Chains A and B, each alone.
Chain A
Amino acid sequence: MSLQFILTVTLNGLTLASLYFIVACGFSLIFGLMRTVNMAHGSLYMVGAYVGFAVFDPLYASSVWASQAWLIGILAGIAAAALVGVIMQVAFLGWMQGQELRQALVTIGLSIIIADQLLARFGGNPFQFFAPDMLFGPVQVPLIGRYPVFRLFQVGLAIAVGVGLWLLLNKTKLGIVVRAGVDDRQMLAACGINVPLVAATVFALGAGLAGLGGVIGATAQPMALGVDARFLLMSLVVVIVGGMGSIGGTALGALLIGLAEQWGQVLFPTYSVILTFVIMAAVLAVWPQGLLGRKPT
C-alpha cells in the first residue's frame, strides 16, 4: 500500500465526512433545541437536491444564466428545504412538542409522502448538477496527484458551515436564545421569548443545511431516489457517535464515519457496511452520550 494510496483514501474519507457534517449539523441543531428526532431529515436533503435541480437545469441550458445556474440552484435547494422544514414544524411538530414517539412517527410518515411526491413530480431518473468551471475538473495535490477540485471545495464548505454555526450560536442574540432553549425551553418562554418563532427559525436553518447538503451531494455524485434513507441513517449515526446537539461532536462523528466508510471499502469491502454500526455500538458502550455529548440534566 503506497503512501499516495493511503492519502487518497483518507482524503476521500475527509470529503465524504464534509458532506455528512453539513447534513448532520442540521439534524443535530433541530434535535438540540426541540428534542425532535426528525426522521424526515433525509427527505429534506432530497427536496433540496430535486428542487435545486429543477431550478438549475433550465438555467444551465440557457445561454445567459449558465454560469450562475449552480449557485442559484443551491439557493433554491436551501430555500425549498427550509420552507418544507418550517411547514413541518408549524403544521405538525409544534403542537406535539415533547411527544418524541409521535413526532418520530409523524416524520416517518412525512418522509414517505415526500419521497412519493418527488417521484411523481420529477420521475425516477438519476441526475447530477454540473459544478461551475471554477470548481470543475482535477487539480494537482502534493503527494496525491490529480484530485477533483470540487471534493476539496466540499471540505472548505464544511469548515465554513462549522465556523458559521459556531459564530451564530456563540456570538449572536439568536445563539443565546437557542442555547438557553436547549437548556430549559419553559424557562426561556418565561423570559418572554417567542419560543415557537425561535423553533421555526431553527427548523428552517437545520432543514436549509440538509437542502445545501442535497445540492452539494448531487453535484459530487449522481442523485437518485432512495438517498433519503441513506442520509437519515448517516445523520443518526453521526450525531449518536458524536453526541447530540454539539457542533464539535457532529464534526468528530462525521470524520469517524466518513473515514470508516472509505477505509472499510478498501480493507474489507464485503463487510464495510457494518463498520459504521460497529463504531456506533462501541462508542455507545463506553460513552452512552456520544463522544462529546452532555449528560442529560
Chain B
Amino acid sequence: MAGHLDIRDLHVRFGKATILQGVSLSVQDKPLSVVGRNGMGKTTMCLALMGMVPATGSARLDGQEVLGLGTGRVARQGIALVPQGRRMFPSLSVHEHLLLVAQRGSPPWTIERVYDTFPRLAERRKNGGNQLSGGEQQMLAISRALLMNPRLVIMDEPSEGLAPVIVDHLIDVLRTIAAEGMGLLLIEQNLRVATSVADQVSVMVTGKIAATVGAAELASDRDMQNRYLGVSHGH
C-alpha cells in the first residue's frame, strides 16, 4: 500500500501567533478523519502540508520528506488537495479544469471515469467554474484532485454547504477512493461524514491533536462530542 503520511511535530507561526503547535498524525492504510471547531488550525495544517504556508517539523509521504519542497513538487510527489472554499479557476470551464490535471488516460482516475462518477459534471462540462452550484463545485474540486491520481488526497471540509442527499453521494465516493488504496486525510466539521468514512478520528484543539478515538466511539458518545467539538449534532 502507498500513500502513508507521517506528520511529526508540525509547527506554523504567523508573526507572534502560533497556529499549529506540534501536530503529529499518521495516515496509514485506512483513511483518517480530523475534526475540531473553527479556528483550531485544521485548514492551516492542510496548507502547511502542501507547502502553501511556511511550516517547520516533518511530513513524510511513504518515507520521503515533503515539507519545504514547494507546492508544485509536493503535488508531483503525490499529494493532492481539495481545498477549503473549493478554489475553482473562474476562467476555466469544467472540462478545462479536468484537462489541466489529467494525465493521458492513466488509471485509476480518467476524465471518463470522473464523468461517470459525477454525471452532473458531464452535463455542465462547458460551464465556467463559477457558474456551478456549491455541490457541483465540490464535485469538481474533488475530481480535480483525483485526476492527479495522487498517492494521498487531503480534503478540507468537502461536505461544507452540501445538501444531505449530496453528502450521501460524497460519502460513497470517499469510501470508494479509500477502498481502492488511495490514502485519505479527511478534515471535517460534519461528524457523520467524518465517522462514516474513517475508522479513526483525530480531534484538533488549539493547534494540537488532543485525542485520536475510534469513529464508532465518537459517533455514539455525546459527552465526548461536547467536550471536543462543543456543538450538538442534530443530524
Residue numbers of A with Cβ under 8 A of B are 173, 176-177, 179-180, 182-184, 186-196, 297
Contacts and interface: CB of A to CB of B under 8 A. Distances in A.
Contacts of A297: 90
Interface of B: 50, 52, 70-72, 74-76, 80-81, 83, 87, 89-92, 96, 99-101, 144, 148
Contacts, number: 60
B72, B75, B144: most-surrounded residue (chain A CB, <10 A): B72
B89 A180 contact: yes
A176 B96 contact: yes
Given A176-B92, A192-B72, 12 more contacts: A173-B99, A179-B89, A183-B89, A186-B71, A187-B87, A190-B71, A190-B75, A190-B83, A191-B100, A191-B148, A192-B148, A195-B72
A176 B71 contact: no
A184 B81 CA distance: 14
Contacts of A176: 92, 96, 99-100
A189 B70 contact: yes
| List of 9 A-B pairs having minimum Cβ-Cβ separation, nearest first | A192-B75, A189-B71, A179-B91, A189-B72, A183-B89, A180-B89, A187-B87, A192-B76, A176-B96
Given A177-B100, A183-B89, A193 B72 contact: yes
A32 to B, nearest CB: 10
B81 A190 contact: yes
Given A183-B91, A184-B89, A192 B101 contact: yes
A155 to B, nearest CB: 29
14 contacts: A176-B92, A176-B99, A179-B92, A179-B96, A180-B92, A186-B71, A189-B70, A189-B75, A190-B72, A191-B100, A191-B144, A192-B148, A193-B100, A194-B76
A212 to B, nearest CB: 26
Contacts of B148: 191-192
Nearest to B141: A187
A186 B50 CA distance: 10
Contacts of A179: 89, 91-92, 96
B101 A184 contact: no
Nearest to B100: A176
Contacts of B99: 173, 176
Given A190-B52, A191-B148, A192-B148, A183 B90 contact: yes
A84 to B, nearest CB: 25
Contacts of B70: 189
Nearest to A181: B89
B75 A191 contact: yes
Nearest to B70: A189
Contacts of B72: 189-190, 192-196
Contacts of A196: 72
Nearest to B102: A173
Contacts of A184: 87, 89
A269 B112 CA distance: 63
A191 B91 contact: no
B78 to A, nearest CB: 9
Nearest to B103: A192
A190 B70 CA distance: 9
A195 B72 CA distance: 7
B117 to A, nearest CB: 19
